[in-house]
Structure 1
Amino acid sequence: MAGQDVTPLHGGPGDDTDFDRVDPSRAEQDFRALREEWRPADEAVAAVPFTHEIDFRGEAMSLRMAYLHLIGEYSRHNGHADLLREALDGVTGR
């Protein structure tokens, strides 16, 4: 959105190798790194109106739609986590 060239932290689109490097002992450190990654992203769009559009893979995408996409992705991944939890503990329908 801000027109900055940012190098992907975890390999980029189509590269899922970061899942192969999961280390539970680093969970707190990795969570802090995620929170720190959000800060410059928030700063980059702080003055950008929600209606501002960019060309995203040949399609117009507004900042509002980028946020909606992120919300959808988080929801989808939380749903996956819930299915895994359900498979482990057997509790459903809460």
Structure 2
Amino acid sequence: MRRAGLGEGSYGNYGYANSGYSACEEENDRLTESLRHKVTAIKSDSQFDSTTGFLGRTMEKLKILSRGSQSKLMCYMMLFSLFVFFVIYWIIKLR
């Protein structure tokens, strides 16, 4: 690709040699095309949708489990606190 007014090996506006700039553009175009093919494959893949649904159901189940676990943990902490309180009260009462 040759630009008007610029000779071989001359530098453009950005200080890059035309041949290097052209090689970078060609590499970017190739990578862009590769990315476009990958995005198209993901969009058309039905397994992607089923995985999303499976992940969503799993997250909902984890939320339910974590709510139950927190209430059990809170109950155990309250019972332990009461036990410690009564032990300290008993020790003070014996003195």
Common fold: TM-score over 0.5: no
The TM-score range, normalised by the shorter chain, is 0.3 to 0.5
Instruction: Work out which structure has the larger RCO, using CA pairs closer than 8 Å and 6 or more positions apart in sequence.
Output: 1
More helix by share: 2
- Which structure has the larger Rg? 2
More strand by share: 1
Q: TM-score, normalised by structure 1?
A: 0.34
